[in-house]
Structure 1
Amino acid sequence: MIHDPNKVYIFDTTLRDGEQVPGCQLDTNQKIEIAKELELLGVDIIEAGFPISSPGDFQSVVELSKAIKEPTICALTRAIRGDIDVAADSLKYAKHPRIHTGIGASDMHIKYKFNSTREKILERAVDAVKYAKTFVEDIEFYAEDAGRADNAYLAQMVEAVIAAGATVVNIPDTNGYCLPDEYGAKIKYLKDHVKNIDQAIISVHCHNDLGLATANSISGIINGARQIECTINGIGERAGNTALEEVAMVIKTHNLGLHTNINSKQFTYISGMVSRMMRMPVQPNKAIIGKNAFAHSSGIHQDGFLKHRENYEIINPEDVGLNSADIILTARSGRHALKHHLQRLGYDSEKIHIDEVYERFLTLADEKLDITDDDLLSLMSNGEASSIKNGYNISYLQVICGDENIASATVKLEVDGKTTEATAKGNGPVDATINAIKSLTNEDTKLTEFTIQSMHKGSDDVSKVNMRVDYGGKSFIGYGFSTDIVKASANAYLDAINKFL
């Protein structure tokens, strides 16, 4: 197999190693949804699960194999023939299948986990690879706890499994123990001492127990590895895995002579998606995708940033699809700054009633110490008059629902000084309202994402609704705010429609 020597393959294990975190389990449909976003992100390999571990994991690998077209689908096994049989069966629909098998390589694991010897472990490793090779061509072998393994024995194991048919050899720092120089030297040792190493790709799989996962992974590729195993948001067992977004942006930012297929502009979206589905909040100061990653609040930093943004930024927020403010808006901000932030949030400045929005912005800014993106989105999606020129605005909304009735909604929309009215039914009040709006706008749209978030606490809380609406082959995100969830949903839908119109 011919590989681009300068390409780093991205092996995502969010759905396997990442899902092992307590409380982060996903059902099959959620896994498919995330896998499709990983495919759009540009990952090369998706580790779909550990099929022998449960019927649910087996079924997830089967369904992901059917749903995913471009990336390789990988199934994990132990160096046990029964595991490999089940993995091979789960991958029968995969367009590009890979079996990931392996065994411990450190003396610690050989003695205390397997109660065995180096010689017997080597035999099991070779047998597992040869057996897996009878099912699929692409075989990855992991030498568990390689970070603490003796380098000479590790090289012997790697050489043997490559000779047995392994196409990728994974050198995990299973416990996050190694220092970057130490781990890089281990990869270099393998490059220099394994005579058939050019017949396989070296993969790095680093954990973050000492906060060194990203540093160790980068040290590995600098020394010859060409695959990084990682997860979205760095989610994973204990302190987590290498964060996909971090290693991808290191490679993109630094002149290492290496590249990936990753579309970094998808990071903020997929980060939020994984965070919500796995119920794992992203810390505000998290590199690349944390909400504070691109926020400048210090006066000195703001001054330097405005004079030349690279004084304090090495990455453009737009490169990672991040909607965090560069400069914090206050009551002293002018129309130009407000317009800049509205454009950043997806609004066309030529279509905005900027004077009307600015007056409401000043009123709000006098009441708050700083203005957030949510405040701006609320200004644009709420109000008695539409914030967008020639945009739709709700003038009346009434919903009827209950145990004995199919929900119905009556909506009046204003646009260009004219009012239209429609009534529609639906599975619930929100569905009925969206159906009524659709009948009035006559736009061929598809709602692909719908999330509700409470802003504070209490029964009178303001709800924030996010909607992703597909139209004309493109996606538009709308936002709505209201103490009434149905009204917030209607505002969000119209916000998206007004953007593409």
Structure 2
Amino acid sequence: MQSAPVTKYRPFPPVDLPNRQWPNRTITRAPIWCSVDLRDGNQALAQPMSVEEKLEYFEMLVKIGFKEIEVGFPSASQIEFDFCRRLIEENRIPADVWIQILCQCREDLITRSLEALHGAKRVIFHLYNSTSPAQRRYVFNAERPAIRDIATHAVSFLKSRMAPLVAQGTHIRLEYSPESFTSTELDFALEVCEAVTDIWQPTTAEKIILNLPATVEYATPNVHADQIEWMCTHLTRRDRTIISLHTHNDRGTGVAATELGMLAGADRVEGTLFGNGERTGNLDIVTVALNLYTHGIHPDLDFSDINDIREVYERCTRLEVPARQPYAGELVFTAFSGSHQDAIKKSWDTRKSTEPWDVLYIPIDPADVGRSYKAIIRINSQSGKGGVAYVLEHEFGYQLPKLMHKEIGRLINDLADATGRELTAPEIHDAFQQEYLQRTAPVVLETFKTTERNSTVKCDAKISIDGQARKLTAEGNGPIDAFVRALAETALPKFEVLSYAEHSLGKGAEARAVSYIQVKTERGHTLFGAGVDTNIELASIKAIVSALNRTLAKR
């Protein structure tokens, strides 16, 4: 990097827009969406999709709900041409879907593109030419009038040559893009767009689409919004124009630029699923659409099975959705932080289904996009007690008493520290069972039965201590009290029961009972034991033995 001061680069100039309105507006509806996955995203792949893969991808886009789909650049290659023909000849395009094709402002390419469209019902013919000063200087070596003439001549040529298709029933709409719009002087971008519109002669019923692309993202999102609002307020036929956005992500703010562009007056958004595209990619439509959804605005796109969409995307493009990609990434509904886990669990447990979604750290219900609740909290050495309790409850059904959370959390954290990695749910379950349910030393419960005597309960138990059998008997106000009194007659450490909780584990004929007993030792230490049995009484007695064995293990 250059040392300060940085003279190699220059700041992007601001837009003179003293009465800008977009900062005070609110998005209230979804835009018109256009997927450009099959062209912009496909051409960015190291191994472009085959025709069969593109057909599968097209069907997925239709299922999601896209009504405008850019299917390719049929004049650029034979595979693009063939794909367009197959869609049309095999009647794969639903009646309410517009296919869009891209074409440079050249007569031969326009002619070839029209050949690819024979038999199509609804077509958006997307013409573009570069307009920025750098393009004019380095690529075309031309001044403004010549660049404007490229656009207007192409539109005139298209109008003159599309008549046979229109006569056969093809409905053609025009989309025009001054490529590198955001790098073009606004007055010249307006001049070219107005000249194109003059020739096309749109109406309020048959509007022209003026696409204003941030072909390379150079400015902050607020400057992009200023550029869009400037165009919206200076167009002479705004009521006959659909303003379309096509942002890229070179600065990492493609989503923000699009959302502010919508505030600035844009009607339509082009982008790709998960932001696939040249360099850092196109706009991620999934993110913008679900951002709207989390604000109570239906995006008119269906991402309720985001896992399936992601699978098709990854298989056809040979790309991977990053683990932290909004809404679709593997880890976006996952919390490792202990404080986050605790907050998630508390807010999740207390929420009511009739109230607006308000679970801490999770802005969208994972179920709305087909994600699983099971993946929300995962455990490593940074995790807390709430996260461990969540996993044990939602994966295995153990509803641990709140006072027990800290104890089990410390145990699992120590295990995670020792392994140096994330722990799986089965590993957490195994650790819980080994610590609480499977301890068989030094005390083993052999038999236990009770007899009611008026207002008391008598217990008769057989235990072994370090392999030595002992018979115990005592009376108490219940089975637990009687067993504790019986144990007090032995040389085992004395303790008192502080709390008791139980619940069923599973349903139906295979349901079992699980009990949790908190005890306080004669040295003042408190800890829990747990027991599981088909008999609730035996489950609680096993929990006492569990606590006793854990007490002896810590001596």
- Tell me the TM-score normalized by structure 2: 0.58
Q: Please tell me whether the aligned partners of residues 190 and 197 of structure 1 are also in contact (alpha carbons under 8 angstroms).
A: no
Aligned match for 2:225, one of 184, 189, 195: 184
Paired residues for 1:126-141 under 5 Å: 126-134=152-160, 135=162, 137-141=172-176
- CA–CA separation in structure 2 for the residues paired with 1:305 and 1:24: 42
Q: Which residue of 1 aligns with 2:241?
A: 200
Q: Which residue of 2 aligns with 1:407?
A: none
Task: Please state whether the residue corresponding to 1:204 is helix, strand or coil.
Answer: strand
- CA–CA separation in structure 2 for the residues paired with 1:164 and 1:259: 36
- CA–CA separation in structure 1 for the residues paired with 2:72 and 2:53: 13
- CA–CA separation in structure 1 for the residues paired with 2:173 and 2:298: 22
Paired residues for 1:415-430 under 5 Å: none
Q: Which residue of 2 aligns with 1:461?
A: none
Relative distance call for 1:127 and 1:339 in structure 2 (3 A) is farther
Task: Please state whether the residue corresponding to 2:140 is helix, strand or coil.
Answer: coil
Q: Which residue of 2 aligns with 1:289?
A: 328
Counterpart AA for 1:264: F
Counterpart AA for 1:285: R
- CA–CA separation in structure 2 for the residues paired with 1:269 and 1:287: 16
Deviations 1:226-274 (A, max 9, x none): 111111111111111001101111222236xx65321121333212211
Deviation at 1:339, TM superposition (A): 6.2
Q: Please tell me whether the aligned partners of residues 176 and 210 of structure 2 are also in contact (alpha carbons under 8 angstroms).
A: yes
Task: Please state whether the residue corresponding to 2:104 is helix, strand or coil.
Answer: coil
Is 1:275 the counterpart of 2:301? The answer is no
Paired residues for 1:2-41 under 5 Å: 6-41=29-64
Q: Please tell me whether the aligned partners of residues 231 and 243 of structure 1 are also in contact (alpha carbons under 8 angstroms).
A: yes
Deviations 1:380-426 (A, max 9, x none): xxxxxxxxxxxxxxxxxxxxxxxxxxxxxxxxxxxxxxxxxxxxxxx
- CA–CA separation in structure 2 for the residues paired with 1:249 and 1:339: 31
Relative distance call for 1:21 and 1:221 in structure 2 (3 A) is same
- CA–CA separation in structure 1 for the residues paired with 2:264 and 2:85: 36
Paired residues for 1:2-401 under 5 Å: 6-65=29-88, 66-69=91-94, 70-134=96-160, 135=162, 137-165=172-200, 167-254=208-295, 260-309=299-348, 310-323=359-372, 325-328=375-378, 336-338=393-395, 369-371=422-424
The count of corresponding residues between Structure 1 and Structure 2 is 346
Q: Which residue of 1 aligns with 2:514?
A: none
Relative distance call for 1:312 and 1:140 in structure 2 (3 A) is same
Deviations 1:80-133 (A, max 9, x none): 121111112212233311111111121111221222121111122122223334
Task: Please state whether the residue corresponding to 2:126 is helix, strand or coil.
Answer: strand
Relative distance call for 1:281 and 1:201 in structure 2 (3 A) is same
Deviations 1:455-482 (A, max 9, x none): xxxxxxxxxxxxxxxxxxxxxxxxxxxx
Q: Please tell me whether the aligned partners of residues 378 and 422 of structure 2 are also in contact (alpha carbons under 8 angstroms).
A: no
Q: Please tell me whether the aligned partners of residues 162 and 199 of structure 1 are also in contact (alpha carbons under 8 angstroms).
A: no
Paired residues for 1:414-493 under 5 Å: none
- CA–CA separation in structure 1 for the residues paired with 2:272 and 2:115: 25
Counterpart AA for 1:328: R
Q: Please tell me whether the aligned partners of residues 99 and 132 of structure 1 are also in contact (alpha carbons under 8 angstroms).
A: no
Deviations 1:45-103 (A, max 9, x none): 11111111111111112223331213211111000121111112212233311111111
Relative distance call for 1:320 and 1:314 in structure 2 (3 A) is same
Unpaired runs of 5+ residues, structure 2, are: 1-27, 163-170, 203-207, 349-358, 380-386, 399-415, 430-555
Relative distance call for 1:161 and 1:260 in structure 2 (3 A) is farther
- CA–CA separation in structure 2 for the residues paired with 1:197 and 1:270: 36
* CA root-mean-square deviation: 2.7
- Tell me the TM-score normalized by structure 1: 0.64
Relative distance call for 1:311 and 1:111 in structure 2 (3 A) is same
- CA–CA separation in structure 1 for the residues paired with 2:396 and 2:106: 61
Task: Please state whether the residue corresponding to 2:278 is helix, strand or coil.
Answer: coil
Task: Please state whether the residue corresponding to 1:33 is helix, strand or coil.
Answer: helix
Q: Please tell me whether the aligned partners of residues 345 and 390 of structure 2 are also in contact (alpha carbons under 8 angstroms).
A: no
- CA–CA separation in structure 2 for the residues paired with 1:149 and 1:283: 33
Deviation at 1:335, TM superposition (A): 6.5
Relative distance call for 1:52 and 1:292 in structure 2 (3 A) is same
Unpaired runs of 5+ residues, structure 1, are: 342-364, 377-501
- CA–CA separation in structure 1 for the residues paired with 2:113 and 2:342: 57
When structure 1 is superposed on structure 2, of 57-66 and 78-87 the one drifting more is 57-66
Counterpart AA for 2:68: I
Deviation at 1:333, TM superposition (A): 5.9
Q: Please tell me whether the aligned partners of residues 9 and 260 of structure 1 are also in contact (alpha carbons under 8 angstroms).
A: no
Relative distance call for 1:279 and 1:333 in structure 2 (3 A) is same
